[in-house]
Amino acid sequence: MELLARVRRTIRDHDLARPATRVAVAVSGGSDSVALAHVVRELDAAGELRAAGILHFNHQLREAADRDEAFVADLAASFGWTFVAERADVGALKIRERRSLEDAARTARHDFFARARERVDADVVALGHTRDDQAETFLLRLIRGAGPRGLASMHPRHGVIIRPLIDCRRSELRGYLDDRHIPYVTDETNEDVTIARNRVRAELIPLLEQRFNPAIVEVLADEAELAREEWAWMEGVATTEIAEAAEAAETAEKYLAVRSPRSLRLSLSQLRDAPVALRRLIVWRAMTEAASGRPVGFDHVRAALQLLDSSRPDASVDAPGHRVQRIGDTLVLTNNGASGGSGEASGFHYPLSVPGEVRLPEARCVVSVEAAPAGAGAEFLSSSGDETVAIVRRDVCLGPLAVRNRRPGDRFRPPGLAGRKKLQDFFVDRKVARHHRDAVPIVVDERDRIVWVAGYAIDDQFRVTDPTQAVLILRLKPEGGCA
């Protein structure tokens, strides 16, 4: 299949971009990212997406780093595109934060992408990862002992990051550039086999190709896709179970029995009845939420699961940012407050099934959702003025919904505004009391995009624009009076 057709298929199959999607391209100067920039340029010219600019992060790790930055700046200028660049001493960051060089570089780079995306008003940032990169990532994670979530490797889309070249081979991209006499730079550190990824690329994969399977890259990339599908299925099942449990919490405890501002409780009897893989996933998700952003590993989950069969009814284990304790027939996860919150600024996050509703004890409210068929949204094209009801496009809401409170850095686009607005600034403009802001329910989709600031405004990208569009009807109802 011709390269551009393959990229188009990937974009279509994974809904990476549409004609109105503003795409910023991350370009290092190497062959893969330069090919990506030229492909995006072709798709922009064809009206299939909108190019927002080129982003470049200078890690200051190589003598040629400044040369690469100048090369990418010239590329952006030749396209007539906006160019945004930043530089940071990643080597110093590695030492200061006691990270691996790869992890420090990735963190700094993605922090830059988040800032730069706002500067160019892009919806997504495109990275030049290929099928070869996918195979390398799968092997690296397998060697390090990853489970299904890790073996899923790189997703075609992760939040605002998209990978249009994930189904393309590196050799195809270089052929594309060579055929068009397009220059690119070469990173000499790719030859440094003291770096684990380079060693996998230069030694392990060639060995596997020669001794075991000439198509090993294709096999490994396919395995990553299978792991990704299996993980998505498991998460979907877990989300359904947790949603049903939350709905029935007042009458029958299931997995998720009770939430409070700093703890949540899991029913041991229901966990024991679940398949082992699902049981592990539910406990991991609960621990991850209680950990306030700290990483929860295999050993942490295993220690928590051992409490299910402990002879001590009050046994407990300490985990990152929280404690897991068996109390009677429940597993209680209590946040230790290490996240630095104060006052009433406790976090909550509830899955919201369609149709369904979720009770929010923190806000003393109920948020519900129901689906309506095409044409049912016609009467809502003009606002009814009722801010406790929101009508949003069903086709734009991706994956399972959830209801949470605000998070640092939250932004959305209220209807009528040209750009995104910080949720904090929105609350200030709407004169929402400071003590109430952490209890305002925020409905988000699977990419954590804000769909509805309940009781206030939807995000403009979910606004109903055509009477024939299928819609979701969201409602906010008081339960004893909203806080």
pLDDT (tens digit per residue) in 111-124: 899 899 999 999 99
Question: How far, in Å, CA of 221 to CA of 209, rounded?
Answer: 14
The residue type at 270: Q
Long-range contacts of 426-434 (CB under 8 A, 24+ apart): 426/453, 426/456, 426/457, 430/456, 432/456
Domain with CATH 3.30.465.60 in the chain: 248-335
Could you give the CA distance from residue 112 to residue 102 in angstroms, rounded to a whole number?
A: 15
Predicted pLDDT at 183: 96
Name 25's bridge partners.
Answer: 54, 126
Are the C-beta atoms of residues 338 and 292 closer than 8 Å to each other?
Answer: yes
In this structure, CATH architecture of domain 3-227 = 3-Layer(aba) Sandwich (3.40)
pLDDT value at residue 337: 58
**Which two structure tokens, joined as six digits, stand for 208?**
């596997």
Q: What is the pLDDT of residue 386?
A: 64
* Residues carrying CATH 3.40.50.620, the chain: 3-227
Given a cut of 70, the residues of the chain with pLDDT beneath it are: 1, 97, 99, 239-263, 293, 313, 337-347, 374-386, 435, 479-483
Q: Which residues contact 225 (CB under 8 A, 6 or more apart)?
A: none
CATH of 349-478, one of 3.40.50.720, 3.40.50.2300, 3.50.40.10, 3.40.50.1000: 3.50.40.10
Upper half-sphere CA count for residue 152 (Cβ side, 13 Å): 15
Q: How big, in percent rounded to 5, are the helix, strand and coil portions of the chain?
A: 40, 20, 40
**Residue-level pLDDT at 243:** 53
Residue type, 262: R
Delimit the CATH 3.50.40.10 region(s) of the chain.
349-478
User: What is 248-335's CATH topology?
Assistant: 3.30.465
The pTM of the full predicted model, rounded to 2 decimals, is 0.57
Helical axes 131-144 vs 216-247, angle rounded to 10° = 70
Q: What is the pairing mode between strands 124-126 and 157-158?
A: unpaired
Q: Which pLDDT does position 293 carry in this prediction?
A: 66
Residue among 353, 5, 381 nearest 167 (CA): 5
